[in-house]
Every structure is written in structure tokens, then in C-alpha cells.
Amino acid sequence: MHTTTPGLQVLFSRQQIADRVIELGRQIDKDYAGQDVLLLGVLKGAAIFLADLARQVTITCTFDFVAVASYGKGQKTSGAVKLIKDIDQPIEGKHIIVVEDILDTGLTLSFLHKLFQQHKPRSLKIATLLDKPSRRLVKIDADYVGFSIPNKFVVGYGMDYAERFRNLPDICLMPSDYPE
């Protein structure tokens, strides 16, 4: 069994994450009953969350992915958001759920929300596994939130520190003095 990197404190275990993802899937099933939804993942961090969430949803769903660059190598944001990979299919007239790993300052999701809104989707919602409301620089809320967390840097379950630790099955706390 894959164990968590020694020395990192677990914030949410794989079981806690799995239980919460089941609940989010049920909520989405209920909210979109009888309709098709496009899960639009934000690479790379949301890949694992999207993969698990998609398997808890029983309504008809398709996937697409965008990639953005916002963070540097370490724990600090540069503030700028750049689209590196655009959507493959048109989203006009579709029900879209943007799937993100973590809503932090809100810069990434407000950038993406504005961008997707211009494509005239039928509806546009946001699902984020983690939310750090105390870090917000722009006003944006998610419609589906896995867990709200304090201002701590986390890794695992898709989330990285300098591209490492995405493959940890648990969500762990990253010590602020961890070397880059």
C-alpha cells in the first residue's frame, strides 16, 4: 500500500477524501438530474480529484481540461494567470462544472470563470476540493467545496510543491520551511 511521505502531517486521509468525494458526487447527481454535464478540470492539480469525482457521478458526463500557470516553483503566487492549454470542445449551451484542486487567492478561478462565461455555457459552476477563504484577493465562491481549510500550504492528492508530492494519496501539510 502507498504510504504517505514520512515527516509530512496528514490533514485529510485518503478515506476522509473518498467519503467527501462520494457526497459531492451525490449532490451533483441531484442538482443535475436528467441532464448532461461537462467536467472541466484545471490541470494539473485537479486531475486526481476529477478522476475520483467523475466516478461518483452517475449522470451523463464528459471531460475536458484546461491548464493554467499561476504559481511559481515554491509556495508563493506570482499573481499572474496564463492559459497554457485551452478547451478542446465548444462549451456553448452546456452545463459546465469547473473542477479545481484548491481555491486560494481566487485569481485562477476568477480568470477562468470570466473566460468561460464569454463562451455562453448554459450554466457554469465551480467544484473545488479545498477552499482557503482567508486567502481570497478577489471575490469568488465555489458551488461545491470538499473541505474549507485555514491558511496552510498542502500537498498530495494532485497538489504539488515544486511539482512533487502530487501522487500522495492523503492531503498533507507542507512545513513552511521546507526547502525548494
Which residues would be at the binding site for ligand IMP (CB under 6 A)? 45, 70-71, 77, 100-109, 153-155, 159-160
Q: Which does 16 bind (CB under 5 to 8 A by kind): ligand IMP, Mg ion, none?
A: none
Q: Does 158 bind Mg ion (CB under 5 A)?
A: no
- 3-class SS letters over the chain: CCCCCCCCEEEECHHHHHHHHHHHHHHHHHHCCCCCEEEEEEECCCHHHHHHHHCCCCCCEEEEEEEEEEECCCCCEEEEEEEEECCCCCCCCCEEEEEEEEECCCHHHHHHHHHHHCCCCCEEEEEEEEECHHHCCCCCCCCEEEEECCCCCEEECCECECCECCCCCCEEECCCCCCC
The residue among 71 and 116 lying less far from Mg ion, judged by its C-beta, is 71
The residue among 24 and 68 lying less far from ligand IMP, judged by its C-beta, is 68
The residue among 48 and 107 lying less far from ligand IMP, judged by its C-beta, is 107
State the nearest-atom distance from the C-beta of 69 to ligand IMP, in Å.
Answer: 10
Residue nearest to Mg ion (CB): 45
Residue among 101, 104, 131, 170 flagged as catalytic: 104
Binding to Mg ion, residues 71-110 (CB under 5 A): 71
Does 52 participate in catalysis according to the annotation? Answer: no
- Which of 41, 45, 106, 146 binds Mg ion (CB under 5 A)? It is 45
Q: Does 41 bind Mg ion (CB under 5 A)?
A: no
Catalytic residues: 104
